[in-house]
Amino acid sequence: MPTFPTPDTSELTPFLGEGHWIETLQDGSHVLIRPLQPDDRDREIDFIERLSPEARHFRFLGTIKEVSPELLDRLMEVDYRNSLALVALAHQDGELVEVGISRYAASGEKDRCECAVTVADAWQHRGLAVALMRHLIDAARKNGFKQMYSIDSAANRPLQDLASYLGFERQRDPEDTTQVIHTLQL
């Protein structure tokens, strides 16, 4: 089993416990899942740039060719309570590389948060999205959220399957028929 560096989580909220998890995926590979940290900025850029155009479209519900500094600032802004991002890291060619991320952010409505998950194309169909979302759901519960939702492309069948597997309910977005809304009561 590979070894992973232990992140400094001394300033994080108590729900994190040890602050990280080592997950064994369906194919036997291992990933480190931990909260996003400021020094992950370059990893986040590399992760997004390595996504296929389809995966980027599903993640951002639109086309993005490059990661603007403003977008990156928004993605890196987490307070570990009202907004949280969990990264999945794996060793590749001697480097620790981001291979997936799940995140939530308070929606402004009491006790609700919006969520998203993205997995690198080469790491899909191994159970990584399930592991990332389970940790994210647990964190949202521990931080007092009662409902989690996501707005996704109606064409994103793998995400619909994931949401269904995790117990989310699905409905068409009444404002945009090309999108669906997945909702989970926490």
**Tens digit of pLDDT for each residue in 72-83?**
888 899 999 999
9 band by pLDDT with thresholds 50, 70 and 90: very low
Distance, in Å, from the CA atom of 61 to the CA atom of 36, rounded to the nearest integer, reads 22
DSSP alpha helix (H) spans, the chain = 41-50, 53-60, 69-76, 128-142, 157-165
37-49: b (≥16 Cβ within 10 Å) or e:
beebeebbbebbe
- Kindly give the pairing relationship between strand 147-153 and strand 112-119: parallel
- pLDDT of 79-114, one tens digit each? 999 999 999 999 998 899 999 999 999 988 889 999
Average pLDDT over residues 142-164: 93
Mean pLDDT over 26-53 rounds to 93
Out of 9-13, 83-87, 130-134, 146-150, which region has the weakest mean confidence (pLDDT)? Answer: 9-13
Q: Is the pLDDT of residue 41 over 60?
A: yes
Mean pLDDT of the 10-20 span = 47
Is residue 4's pLDDT more than 50?
Answer: no
Average pLDDT, the chain: 86
Mean pLDDT across 50-73: 79
Kindly indicate the confidence band of residue 3, based on its pLDDT and cuts at 50, 70 and 90. Answer: very low
The mean-pLDDT minimum among 22-31, 58-67, 102-111, 125-134 falls in 58-67
Rounded-to-integer distance, Cα 140 and Cα 104, Å: 8
Whether the pLDDT of residue 8 is over 60: the answer is: no
Angle at 86 between CA 80 and CA 87, to 5 degrees: 140
Q: What is the DSSP letter of 64?
A: -
pLDDT at 10: 38
Task: Please state, for a pLDDT cut of 70, what percent of the chain lies above it.
Answer: 88
pTM: 0.86
Query: Can you read off the two tokens belonging to residue 38?
Result: 């400021």
The 8-class DSSP code of residue 120 comes to -
Q: What's the rounded Cα separation, in Å, for the pair 118 and 128?
A: 9
